[in-house]
Chain A
Amino acid sequence: MAERLRVATCSLAGCFGCHMSLLDLDERLLGLLEVVEFDASPLNDLKRIRRPADLGLVEGGVCNAENVRVLREFRSHCRVLVAVGECAITGGIPSMRNGFTLKQCLEEAFIRGQGTENAHIPDDPEIPLLLNKVRPLHHIVKVDHYLPGCPPAPDAFWHFLTALVAGQDPSLPKELIRFD
């Protein structure tokens, strides 16, 4: 058997909906695993990319310093990087906080939030620093392909991955392009 395509995936400021939609390939996953193998991914719980991957699927936008680190690691270890879903492509729902200052957001969540006790803004050094704005991936690294949708439909994943494996243009047909 020819060497399988190595795929790494991660979720930054996302909801894992895109990963769920990938899993919704259902029985087609079995066929997919004939031609791809997963490196670091929430699906196998491997945290770091072990060796260079052919394909990196990144879900979610970039909202904190840890997201930036992971995204850069993916960019440097993945030959082809894909922004998966609306958050990765546009910032998506998390970027709705961009109309407010970080101070306003934190105070709303941790000071004025309903039922808050011992109100204070968490400052443990282990918590990644938030960016002032949530950004889509292409603001930070070069992105090779975009897979829109919230989440992209399983058929969109299927079309994209099978085209890429076959060495064809993975652009989606009109009927598979959705932003919701």
Chain B
Amino acid sequence: MSGTFFLDDQEIPFREGQTVLEAALAAGRFIPHLCWRPELEPHSSCRLCTVLISGRPFSACTQPAMKGQRVVCDTPQLKDLRKAVTQMLFVEGNHFCPACERSGSCRLQAAAYHLGMQDSHFPHQFPVRERDSSHPEVNLDRDRCIRCELCVRASRQLDGKNVFGIHGRGVTSRLEVNAPSGLLRDTAIAAEDQAVAFCPTGALTVKRRGFELPIGERRFDRSDLATEVLEAFAAKEARHG
């Protein structure tokens, strides 16, 4: 099925099999998201892409586009909800932006900027989480992990390695490394893996490259998350048709 649907007041065309998010991005409309990438199966866990269809909340990254569907996206209530979800991601972890080498190229931070987040609103949890610096090239800092599973999916679907998994449920769930020792040094992960590249925060970083680009000259120091995502999506569509 193809046709058009309405995103707020804009008519959006879609192709067979496209989700609301994919069709919106293809039409140049940004819907905020953190756990979705065009190369991977959707996961629908960050809930930033929540939209209303017939008054009910759906995640745009998993909802198939349907003919004549009316999708509500840019309302003050939904913007507040997205901001609150982002604030929760911040207070659940330990996101010390001024001390993080990913600052300025971090998608969590960029989402916060995009959503106009100026405070944490909720009490900070200051959880105690283990760091894994055992690998010679790749560092895992769980303080910065938002459990979006991009690394889990990228490692399985793109790298063919299955290095990561999520253990536990809810606020106590954590990113685990698939090795008897539980350490990155005992896995096949490499610095050039998509699992590392796709980490939206500084949870997975390549060692000794953190400051190749100075703070202030990084991707989201210069442009908004929406611009970056739309440009990247358009470039990918142009490549693959």
Contact = CB atoms under 8 A, between A and B. Distances in A.
Decide whether A and B are members of one complex.
yes
B224 interface: yes
- The contact size tier of chain A is 20 to 34
B96 A93 contact: yes
B65 interface: no
Given A150-B97, A180-B98, A133 B119 contact: no
Contacts, number: 76
A180 B126 CA distance: 19
A20 interface: no
B15 interface: no
B80 to A, nearest CB: 13
Contact of A172 (B109, B118, B126): B118
Contact of B124 (A91, A143, A179): A91
Interface stretch (A23-31, A51-59, A64-72, A82-90): A82-90
B94 interface: yes
Interface in B120-152: 120-121, 123-124, 126, 128, 143
B114 interface: yes
Interface residues of B, number: 28
Contacts of B116: 171-172, 174, 177
Given A95-B126, A174-B113, A89 B98 contact: no
A92 B221 CA distance: 20
A174 B109 CA distance: 12
Contacts of A174: 113-114, 116, 224
A150 B126 contact: no
B147 to A, nearest CB: 18
Contacts of B40: none
A180 B120 contact: no
B118 A180 contact: no
A179 B119 contact: no
Contact of B98 (A135, A138, A171, A179): A179
Given A136-B124, A174-B224, A180-B104, A86 B118 contact: no
A161 to B, nearest CB: 15
The list of the 8 closest CB pairs from A to B, nearest first, reads A179-B97, A146-B119, A150-B98, A180-B103, A98-B126, A146-B118, A177-B113, A180-B97
Given A95-B96, A96-B94, 20 more contacts: A89-B118, A90-B97, A90-B120, A92-B96, A95-B126, A98-B94, A99-B126, A99-B128, A138-B120, A138-B121, A146-B118, A147-B118, A150-B98, A177-B112, A177-B113, A180-B97, A180-B98, A180-B100, A180-B103, A180-B215
Interface of A: 83, 86, 89-93, 95-96, 98-99, 133, 135-136, 138-139, 143, 145-148, 150, 171-172, 174, 177-180
